[in-house]
């Protein structure tokens, strides 16, 4: 029996995580938040004091990537993320850990180390995977490929609301600059740069609600699965 795979790629703050969780819950599929995977590795390497010296400690970092103990637990439309058994769902969503993830994602050897970890998520009845290169590099055989984007300004506004909801005091100018910098880094990296797959269904969520985007996705995925 073929495992159905749905990929959602796109820049930071476009809503991929929320919508991936909703799709996984809707179809009863497993969930892979690859962005969280890189954030988790970045946080783990930070805890091990390896993140600021990636070049000289590369072999140790690769081993840490292979051995990292993570688990995603989906409940309703939300996801609980565990690192070594500890709930780090909110911790990994901070801007600081986002920077950790960006450093990790730029190292080809660490991307390679995480490749098989991501492929191992392919399990019946299906998988929803969100990230930057799910359709272009990790799961090119996916039956349904979605590229979700939004303007940098609208993504910054959403991010500010999310962080304020976590009790953090942030400035939209700082968040916008961070998003633009991360977009540039993700799009220009030499390994698996951020870009839509040639056969991806592209959605701009700048002026759409979560429910509106979700319905567009379900309509598209239903056609792909039936096909």
Domains identified in the chain, total number: 1
In the three-class reduction of DSSP (H, G, I as helix; E, B as strand; rest coil), residue 6 is classed as strand
pLDDT for the residue 19:
94
Tell me how far apart the alpha carbons of residues 2 and 20 are, in angstroms, rounded to a whole number. Answer: 20
What angle is formed at CA 80 by the lines to CA 126 and CA 53, rounded to 5 degrees? 100
Range of the domain at 94: 4-226
What is the pTM (predicted TM-score) of this model?
A: 0.81
Q: Span 114-121, mean pLDDT?
A: 89
Question: Residue 95: pLDDT band by 50, 70, 90 thresholds?
Answer: confident
Going from the C-alpha of 185 to that of each of 24, 182, 194, the distances in angstroms are 29, 5, 9
What rounded mean pLDDT belongs to the chain?
89
Q: What are the tokens at 21? A: 């969780």
Q: What is the pLDDT of residues 136-158, one digit of tens each?
A: 999 999 999 999 999 999 999 98
Which residues face 6 on adjacent strands? 128, 144
What angle is formed at CA 110 by the lines to CA 61 and CA 116, rounded to 5 degrees? 115
Q: What are the tokens at 117? A: 């970890």
**CATH code for the domain in which residue 134 is found:** 3.40.50.300
Rounded to the nearest angstrom, the gap between the alpha carbon of residue 173 and the centroid of all alpha carbons in its chain is 23
Asked if omega into 63 is within 30° of 0 (cis), the reply is: no
pLDDT for the residue 227:
54
């Amino acid at each position: 029996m073929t495992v159905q795979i749905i990929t959602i790629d796109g820049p930071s703050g476009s809503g991929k995580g929320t919508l991936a969780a909703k799709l996984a819950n809707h179809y009863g599929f497993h969930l892979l938040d690859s962005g969280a995977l890189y954030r988790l590795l970045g946080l783990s390497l930070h805890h091990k004091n390896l993140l600021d010296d990636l070049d000289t400690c590369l072999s140790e970092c690769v081993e840490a990537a292979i051995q990292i103990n993570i688990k995603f637990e989906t409940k309703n439309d939300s996801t609980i993320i565990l690192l070594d058994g500890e709930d780090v769902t909110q911790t990994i969503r901070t801007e600081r850990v986002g920077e950790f993830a960006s450093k990790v994602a730029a190292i080809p050897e660490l991307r390679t180390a995480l490749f098989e970890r991501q492929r191992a998520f392919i399990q019946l009845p299906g998988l929803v995977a969100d990230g930057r290169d799910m359709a272009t590099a990790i799961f090119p055989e996916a039956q349904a490929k979605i590229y979700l984007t939004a303007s940098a300004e609208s993504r910054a506004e959403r991010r500010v609301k999310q962080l304020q909801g976590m009790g953090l005091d942030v400035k939209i100018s700082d968040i916008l600059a961070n998003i633009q910098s991360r977009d540039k880094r993700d799009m220009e990296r030499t390994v698996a740069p951020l870009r839509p797959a040639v056969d991806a269904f592209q959605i701009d969520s700048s002026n759409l609600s979560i429910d509106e985007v979700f319905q567009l996705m379900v309509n598209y995925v239903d056609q792909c699965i039936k096909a």
